[in-house]
Every structure is written in C-alpha cells, then in structure tokens.
Structure 1
Amino acid sequence: MIRLHRLVNGFGGPAGFLGALIVIALLVMAVGAPWIAPRDPLLVDISNQLLEPGGQFPFGTDQSGRDVLSRVIWGTRASLSVSAIAVVIGMAGGVTLGLIAGFYRGGWIEQITVRFLEAISAIPILIWAIALVGIFGVGDMRVGPFVLANEAKLMILLGLLYIPTLARVTYTTALVQSQANFVLARRLQGTGGLRIMVSDVLPNCLSPVIVQATLLLAIGIIIEASVSFVGLGVQPPTPSWGNMLADARNYLMSGEWWISVFPGAAISLAVVGFNLLGDGLRDRLDPRHAAAVLAT
C-alpha cells in the first residue's frame, strides 16, 4: 500500500497517475498493434459491411467491411508517432534556441531570437500546420537523396512549429537561472560560459520543458487528426484516427454511430491522458505550484 502511494505521488497525484496509465496503454497499443489487433486493418470484406458492434467485431465494421477495432489500434501508432517525433524535433530546436537566448541575455542574439519566436507564435499552430502541409502537398517530397513520405513531412513541420513554444519556456527559465548565485559563483571560479550553460543552467530548465512537451503531445494528436481529417495528413488506406473520422462523416445521419464514436473516443482519451499526465508532472516537478494548490 505504501509503495502504491509513493507510485501515485511520483506522478503528482491520482490524476497524474491515471494519465500515466492511459499513456502507457496507448504506447502498448501502438507498439504491439501487429499482435494486439484481431484482424488486418486493411482487409476489405464487403460481405461484412457496416456491421454493428458485437460478436466477432466488438467495434463493428466500416463501409468497406474493415474491422473498426483493428483500425483504431493501428491508428494509435500513426497518431503517437507523429506527435512524439514532432515533440523530439521541437525540443531539440526549442531548448537550444531558448537556452542560448536566455543565457546570453541583453545582446543581439536575445533580441533576434525573441522577436522571431513572437512572430511565429502570433499564428496558431493548427493554422500553420494546415497551411504548410497544403503548400507542400500530400505526395512524397525529395530532399537530396532522401524521399519524405507525407507522414514524415507532417512530423518535421509539426516539430518545427513546436520550436517557438518550447523555446519560450526554456528562455524564461534560462533567463532566471543565468542570474542565480550558483552561476555567478561558477563564473568567479573561471568556468567557461558554454560549460556553465550546458552543465548548470540546462538541467534546471528541463522540468518546465518536460511538462510543456507532455502537453504538446496532446496538441499534436489533435493536429494530426485535424490534418488527416481534411485529407492532408496520413493518407488512406493507412489507418489514422483523423481519416477514420473523415470516412465516418458520410454516415453520421444514417445510424452507423460506431464508425465515428470509437476513433473519436480514442482521440479524446489520448488527449485527456496526456493532459492529466502533464498536470501531474507539473505538480511533481514544480513545488511552488503544488504549494499554491494546497494553499487554495
């Protein structure tokens, strides 16, 4: 019982622990889709077209007779991979820019970086994503010797759009940490600026960045679903929660509710899970926020 209590508190409380369980379940589904899915998500069987949930099809079938449960499970892989890799790209660029701008404050590096981030952040990420994917198209794109599929393009574009958000979080923290007494002491010891920035300032910036990255995972799932819904994301027949909803919109008024409900529920559950995990990590990693919550 004590171990369970410590485990729950390790995620910032019951809500964070519940979010962690949801995220772990989604990861298991994404990684284990080939073994967990009961059927081939691409198998077309017109004889089983639009069957209601039950029996051998717990989530029913779609207009092509494909198993909705299998497609939802495989769609987890598409949604999480796009969102996760985009966050990794965003952290690599955002943490670097924010750290440099915050550490070398007061100079032209800070001014250029901050103004650039403000200009990009003025337009919502979803608008940027739809516009850029629309410009580059949905076909494969050749970059030198490499050929980028549409899903890879979406990962890269979304990752670039995450850079301003993560850079601003890093910049704010680095700005405060670079003026702390321990940094001044390290300077007096003759330690180089680059070493101080990487070994002393950077570790203290990671907590808010991790929390923000967790929340961006939820946003990435929504953006991937939105872009796929309008036909600019993951392309059929590859299952994605977004293109499953796009197919289901033609059956909203005809009674086949299961085609839209289950992928929609998967999106909602994933977003709630990452948000709960993000809130829990914020409480766990930021003692000041936890104290403020207890005070109220």
Structure 2
Amino acid sequence: MIPTRNRTARPEREPGAVRTGAAALGRWTRLLTRRPAGITACALIVLLTAVALVGPWLTPDPNAQAAAPMSAPSPDHWMGTDNTGRDVLARFVAGARISLSVALLCTLAATAVGTLVGMVAALRAGTWFDALVMRATDVVMAFPLLVLVPVLSGVFTQKGIAVGPVELDNVAIMGISIGVALTPVFVRLARASALAEVRKDYMTAARGLGARRRDLVFGNLLPNIATPIVVQAAFSVAIAIIVEASVSFLGLGIQPPDASWGTLLTDARSQLLLGAWWLILFPTLGIAAAVLALTLLGDELRDLLDPRMRRGFERPGDDRHAPVPAADTRPTPANTPESR
C-alpha cells in the first residue's frame, strides 16, 4: 500500500456555498463595526447615503418659494428658509445628492483610469511610455487642486463637452475636472506599488510561462496592489467633497439653480452678517460629517487590510492569528549544574 500524507482535515463546504463579493463585503462590514471608529464611519455613511437617495422624494422642490424669506428653523421648516424663501432642508438634501455623487463618481473614474495606467507603466518601466506618463503626472500635480479644478472647469465649460447628442451640464463638467485632477495620484501610487511586485518571483514565473499582459495586470498585479488603492480611494472621496465645495463657494464650480453644499455656502456668505446662522451651519455640518466618515473609513480600511494591524479587528478570544511563542531554551532543572 502506498503511504499517503497526513493532511489536516478541513471542514467540507456546504453544497452551493460559494464565496462571493457580497459575502466578502459582509465580512468587511462585520470587522469594521467591531471598533468605535468603524461604527461611527459606517453610521455616518449610511445616514448621508439615505439622505442623498431618499431625501429628495420627501422634501419639496428646492427651487420653489416655500415660506417667508429668512425664516429661522421651525417645526414647519426644520432648517429655515433662505433670502428668497426657499426651504433650506430641501436644498440641503438636493445638495447632498449632487456633492456626494460628484465626489464618488469622479473618484471611481480616477481610481480606475489611474490604477490601470500606473500598472501598465510599471510593466513598461524604463520605456518611452513610462517616461511620458510620469512627466504628464508631474505637470498635473504641480498645480494645487483649488487652482487646477477651476481652470479645467472653465475650459470644459467654454468649449462644451457632449456625449452624442447630449451636452454635459456644469455638474458633470465639475466631476470630470476633479477626476482629471485626482487621476495622477492613483497613477503614481499604482506604479510605485506595482514596481515592488514586478520584481518578485511569481511575476517572473508568469512572464516565463508566456502570460499575456492583460493577465499580468488583472490577474497578478491588481490583487496584490489593491490595498493602498482602496485606502487612497476612501481619502480621495473626502478630498473631492472639499474641493467641490470650495470651488463652488468661490462661484467657479456648480452654478445655480443646481444646489450643492458649496452653493449653499455661497448663498449664506452674504446673509451671515444679518444673523442668518442657519444658512451656513447645516451645509458646514454636512461637509464635516462626510469628510469625517470617509477619513475614519480610510483609517479603518488601512488597519483592516494591513496584516500587521489586523490584530485589532479580531475577537478577544480569537487567537488564530496570534504569533507563535518562541521555544523556551532555558535549561531544565535536570540539566543545570546545581542538579548534577
């Protein structure tokens, strides 16, 4: 009889039980909600998402006059009214939808494009393509975001951008401008992370076996550099919210009648000296809550995805990832000189 290896028995998986993206997302959510910072981040993100998605269906027209101008918060109008009698709560909810959607979509586009270009540049390190990509990112990153985004927005608005017969409005142009400004960050991050991977043995073996470049990028590189990309994406959404609000506050971003948190601050600027504190308080709280939630989420994701920091997410009685104690090399009583 041929001897067989003594393998550790593994529990059999139930029929049809397949690890899916939803199961992985559920595991991440459970891990994030084990610490106060993760609970705070998840709660704020869920609350703001609900306000942006469901709020416009429950509030009146944000551009319609609802009551007397400059009314303080009351049971009829929870956030008061502005100088034209429009309900501030309705405009806050509409602004949440625009600000959050612009920040999220432009970050997703910048993440996808920047990561792909960075990985290809790493695979072609030392070539003309790599040099061209790096010099282009240097030029874009030489300008501050609050200078580059208004310039791009003005250029795109003046020339106009059309997708087929549909011409993009200023909200879409603002998202494109922020996305272009954020893309070089992901290009450099993906390239630096991929350069550390292309020199490893598994990449050399894959190339030796004749793997196609598409398989190298999506099958080998992307899963191994995803951790810093995901963390940077969470921080970039917060940065995009701040940039959109700042540019719109200066009057160079989203224009009326579209409402965003930045345009609400613009409307409140001229009324603050008249005692209308509610016009600036609620948009500021919305921006602060969104940025706080995304910053906490980025910190928690960094700790969760980093194996050196993952110990804090495990349950108190779970010692599966505990380090193996070193062997006790002290002499036993039988071997000590005193016992002889």
TM-score after normalising by structure 1: 0.89
Counterpart residue type for residue 236 of structure 1: P
Which whole-Å CA distance do the structure 2 matches of 1:209 and 1:54 have between them?
A: 45
Which whole-Å CA distance do the structure 1 matches of 2:123 and 2:115 have between them?
A: 12
Write out per-residue CA displacement over residues 250-275 of structure 1, whole angstroms, 9 at most, x where no aligned residue: 11111110011111111111111111
TM-score after normalising by structure 2: 0.78
Which whole-Å CA distance do the structure 1 matches of 2:129 and 2:28 have between them?
A: 44
Instruction: Indicate the residue corresponding to 2:22 in structure 1.
Output: none
CA contact (8 A) 1:11 1:280 kept: no
Aligned in 2, Cα 1:104/1:136: closer, same or farther, shift over 3 Å?
A: closer
Write out per-residue CA displacement over residues 21-53 of structure 1, whole angstroms, 9 at most, x where no aligned residue: 21121111111122233x3212214x5211111
CA RMSD of aligned residues (A): 2.4
Write out per-residue CA displacement over residues 199-244 of structure 1, whole angstroms, 9 at most, x where no aligned residue: 1111212221111111111111111111211222222122211111
Write out per-residue CA displacement over residues 128-174 of structure 1, whole angstroms, 9 at most, x where no aligned residue: 00122233447964466431111111111211111101111111111
Give the CA deviation at 1:291.
Answer: 7.5
Are 1:97 and 2:143 counterparts?
Answer: no
Are 1:34 and 2:56 counterparts?
Answer: yes
Structure 1: tracts of 5 or more residues without a match: none
Structure 2: tracts of 5 or more residues without a match: 1-25, 313-340
Counterpart residue type for residue 44 of structure 1: Q
Which whole-Å CA distance do the structure 2 matches of 1:31 and 1:158 have between them?
A: 22
Which whole-Å CA distance do the structure 2 matches of 1:182 and 1:13 have between them?
A: 36
Are 1:160 and 2:180 counterparts?
Answer: yes
The 5 Å alignment of 1:1-296 reads: 7=29, 9-10=31-32, 13-37=35-59, 39-45=60-66, 47-137=67-157, 141-142=161-162, 145-288=165-308
Which whole-Å CA distance do the structure 2 matches of 1:190 and 1:141 have between them?
A: 42
Give the CA deviation at 1:287.
Answer: 2.3
Which whole-Å CA distance do the structure 2 matches of 1:12 and 1:95 have between them?
A: 30
Give the CA deviation at 1:178.
Answer: 1.1
Please say which structure displays the higher CA radius of gyration.
Answer: 2
Which whole-Å CA distance do the structure 2 matches of 1:282 and 1:115 have between them?
A: 29
- The alignment covers a number of residue pairs equal to 287
Which whole-Å CA distance do the structure 2 matches of 1:69 and 1:9 have between them?
A: 34
Aligned in 2, Cα 1:258/1:138: closer, same or farther, shift over 3 Å?
A: farther
Write out per-residue CA displacement over residues 68-118 of structure 1, whole angstroms, 9 at most, x where no aligned residue: 112111111010111111112212220111011112223222222122212
Aligned in 2, Cα 1:278/1:44: closer, same or farther, shift over 3 Å?
A: same
Same amino acid, percent of matched pairs? 36
Structure with bigger RCO (C-alpha 8 Å, 6+ apart): 1
Give the CA deviation at 1:16.
Answer: 2.9
Secondary structure at 2:282 match in 1: helix
Which whole-Å CA distance do the structure 2 matches of 1:97 and 1:197 have between them?
A: 10
Aligned in 2, Cα 1:155/1:5: closer, same or farther, shift over 3 Å?
A: closer
Which whole-Å CA distance do the structure 2 matches of 1:129 and 1:172 have between them?
A: 25
The runs of at least 4 consecutive aligned structure 1 residues that moved more than 3 Å come to 4-8, 10-13, 135-146, 288-292
Instruction: Indicate the residue corresponding to 2:315 in structure 1.
Output: none
Which whole-Å CA distance do the structure 1 matches of 2:271 and 2:213 have between them?
A: 61
Secondary structure at 2:264 match in 1: helix
Counterpart residue type for residue 235 of structure 1: Q
Aligned in 2, Cα 1:11/1:213: closer, same or farther, shift over 3 Å?
A: farther
Which whole-Å CA distance do the structure 2 matches of 1:187 and 1:140 have between them?
A: 44
Counterpart residue type for residue 50 of structure 2: V
- Of 106-115 and 5-14, more deviation after overlay is shown by 5-14
Counterpart residue type for residue 221 of structure 2: V
Structure that is richer in helix per residue: 1
Which whole-Å CA distance do the structure 2 matches of 1:12 and 1:129 have between them?
A: 38
